[in-house]
Amino acid sequence: MRFFKNLFYKPLSTQLTVTSSSGFHLRPVARFTTLAKSFSCDVIASFQAKSIDAKKVNTLLSLSLEKGDTLTLITQGKDAQRALTSLQTLFTTLMYNDVEVTSITKENAHYIGETIEGDIIAKGVAIAPASLYRTETIEHENTLTFKDAVDKTMKSLEETYDAQKESSNADIYLAQQSLLSALADKCDTLEALEALIAEESEKLQDTKLSTKITDYQDILQQVKTALGLEVKVIFPEQDFILLSDDLLPSEIALLSDTQVQGVILKETSINSHTAILLRASGIPSLIADTSGVPLNADIILDSFSGVVVLSPSSEDIQTAKDLQNKHKKDKAQSTAKRFEPAQTTQGKIIKVYANVADVRSAKLAKEEGAEGIGLLRSEFLFTEQRPSLEVQTKAYSDIFSFFDDVTVRTLDVGGDKALPYIKLPKEANPFLGIRGVRLFQSHPDILSEQLHAIFWAASKKPIKIMFPMISTVEEFVYAKQFALDVASKHQLSIDNILFGMMIEVPSTLFALAEFDAVVDFYSVGTNDLTQYLFAIERTHPTLSIDSRSPILFKALSHIVNAVTKPVSICGELAADTKAIPELVNLGFTTLSVTPKSIAQTKETIRHV
Ligand code: PEP
Ligand code: MG
């Protein structure tokens, strides 16, 4: 049937390269398959002679895609073109935003009592008796069928996802929902679900995806609870450090109503959903073998240095208490400090701005201490369908409301970024084709509407508009005139708007004096500048460039010396702690980085 359905449609394809160092793991895969399922066409992913259905979480995960792997995405059917571009855009967004913890550096500690070592999940110090994880099963009267219980669990996961949508951890619930939906399709009874989960978990043992077993257990427990088989966790009434092999992600929320001081888990990993939620809750926690830990007497969990002190001396207790107090003070200070300006040892103030993509990241940027938005990547704002003028205006004004200084970049579509409602020709070298400011010529209506919305949203607020991929002065003049025409057509005053450009195409380096006469500001996009300087695609699976190459620094030095208008850096290099001292010494005074890198960037500047 499927064969006949698609016979009339040609397959479309594109290549997607995994650029995140954590690979294409469960949470991004869940987001990807959720979108894939919303299209009627077939969606196939092909990698190393294996072709699978990319609408299913488990099959897509089975490709085990790591950083550098390139998969071919094939869509075939009525809405294949829309599906291809939407999925391509989402994939790029997921890769841009996927920042996982690789390891947490340990500090030195000196204790007299015997210690065991572990890996840090979340930093902190706890002093309390250890208590083993205990549960009791309570059977309630059940009125639901198995299918109803699955539906109820799906609904509850959806509600948790909706409630946490603002947080990046929300995708954990979407991932569990996708797993449950895939499993429940194959089962009619609880026993069948249990057997299937046991079988799937067996396959995952000792693989890179083994932490998924806990998500399976969590789902199973939630379905059981819906069927009246509640497993209740028993917590002590006094302060305690919880010891367990592992915890279900859903159990982390329960801890907030207890006297828990710390958690030691034996069998999780630093990026499991349980670990992510523990970190978010701020409970000091460690991965360590808990078998030799004595119960019911005070132990020390020092997850700064990654140790558990099994029989602490009174000096040890004092050391831990001092550390606890220092931590409390440091935390309060660094939390407050992230809102303070970043000043070098020589007293020079460097502004630290944020690169954002939507209202959620703008809000996060504010919370993390950003002093403004140095780059709003507007192409990630509306990735599914073309927004109306009103919807666009609302999104821009929401984002503008967070800061007094905001730079919004006009759509930078093309290259590795696509939007389903912007048709671009298939090109052999899309990074050298219709991209960025070139859309002013190919899609004037879309750009005109975007500028109209930005002007409207800005109202009287000073806003900076930045054009991407400028390569000649004429291109800048054309884009600016285009914007002025939009304003005059709608009789909008734009005295409050400044116009600037990205420096990311090498040709601009040789015309900076001419640009200086027409632009109000610049921002250096080192991601693209590097790819074009070295002629190596930024997403290339095997070729890589030294991101701190002396040649790039020569280019940056030339820029900062040649221009008289304000210039910032918004490429990844701006958050590279090893590059920051040199960037500051070259004379850059504004760095724009991802929201999560703001505190660290400020702290690095303070040591220059
Ligand atoms: C850059 O090229 O460095 C940049 C900031 O823009 P993008 O990564 O969005 O192309
Ligand atoms: Mg760029």
Q: How far is CA 360 from CA 95, 350, 356, 407, 593, in A?
A: 17, 25, 9, 17, 16
Indicate whether residue 416 lines ligand 1 (CB < 6 A). Answer: no
Q: What is the pLDDT of residues 18-56, one digit of tens each?
A: 988 778 888 899 999 999 999 999 999 999 989 999 999
3-state helix, strand, coil in the chain (%, to 5): 45, 20, 35
What single-letter amino acid sits at 573?
Answer: L
Q: Are strands 590-593 and 349-356 parallel, antiparallel or unpaired?
A: parallel
**Annotation marks residue 41 as catalytic:** no
Indicate whether residue 316 lines ligand 1 (CB < 6 A). Answer: no
Judge contact between 504 and 527, C-beta under 8 A.
Answer: yes
**Annotation marks residue 273 as catalytic:** yes
Residues 441 and 447: their CA atoms lie apart, in Å, by 9
Q: How far is the CA of 477 from the centre of ligand 2 (A)?
A: 19
What pLDDT is recorded for position 334?
A: 66
Indicate whether residue 504 lines ligand 1 (CB < 6 A). Answer: yes
> If you average pLDDT over residues 113-135, what whole number do you get?
94
Residues 240 and 462: their CA atoms lie apart, in Å, by 53
Indicate whether residue 525 lines ligand 1 (CB < 6 A). Answer: yes
Q: How far is the CA of 205 from the centre of ligand 2 (A)?
A: 41
Mutational test site, ligand 1, from 96, 355, 377, max ligand atoms within 8 Å of CB: 377
For ligand 1, atom 10, name the residue with the nearest CA. 528
Ligand 1 atom showing the smallest separation from residue 527 Cα: 3
Ligand 1 atom showing the smallest separation from residue 377 Cα: 9
Question: Which ligand approaches the C-alpha of residue 377 most closely?
Answer: 1
Residue with more model confidence, 375 or 2: 375
Per DSSP, the three-state class of 267 is coil
For ligand 1, atom 8, name the residue with the nearest CA. 527
Residues 608 and 591: their CA atoms lie apart, in Å, by 14
Indicate whether residue 153 lines ligand 1 (CB < 6 A). Answer: no
Question: Which ligand approaches the C-alpha of residue 355 most closely?
Answer: 1
What pLDDT is recorded for position 1?
A: 47
Question: Which ligand approaches the C-alpha of residue 411 most closely?
Answer: 1
Inform me whether the pLDDT recorded for 163 exceeds 90. Answer: no
Question: Which ligand approaches the C-alpha of residue 379 most closely?
Answer: 1
Q: How many CA atoms lie within 13 A of 535 on its CB side?
A: 0
For tokens 């946490």, the residue is 164
Q: How deeply is 166 buried, as exposed, middle or buried, from its count of CB atoms within 10 A (0-12, 13-18, 19+)?
A: exposed
Residues 312 and 44: their CA atoms lie apart, in Å, by 57
Ligand 1 atom showing the smallest separation from residue 379 Cα: 9
Q: What is the pLDDT of residues 554-603, one digit of tens each?
A: 999 999 999 999 999 999 899 988 899 999 999 999 999 988 889 889 98
List the Cα angle 563/564/568 in 5-degree steps.
70
* Choice among 25, 273, 443, 452 that is catalytic: 273
Q: How far is CA 122 from CA 92, 125, 543, in A?
A: 29, 10, 35
Structure tokens at 440: 């002013």
Q: What value does the mean pLDDT of the chain take?
A: 91
Q: What is the pLDDT of residues 191-229, one digit of tens each?
A: 999 999 999 999 888 877 787 899 999 999 999 999 999
Inform me whether the pLDDT recorded for 99 exceeds 70. Answer: no
For ligand 1, atom 4, name the residue with the nearest CA. 525
For ligand 1, atom 6, name the residue with the nearest CA. 525
The 8 Å CB, 24+ separation contacts for 591-594 are: 591/350, 591/351, 591/352, 591/353, 591/374, 592/352, 592/353, 592/354, 592/355, 592/373, 592/374, 592/375, 592/407, 592/523, 592/568, 593/352, 593/353, 593/354, 593/355, 594/99, 594/354, 594/355
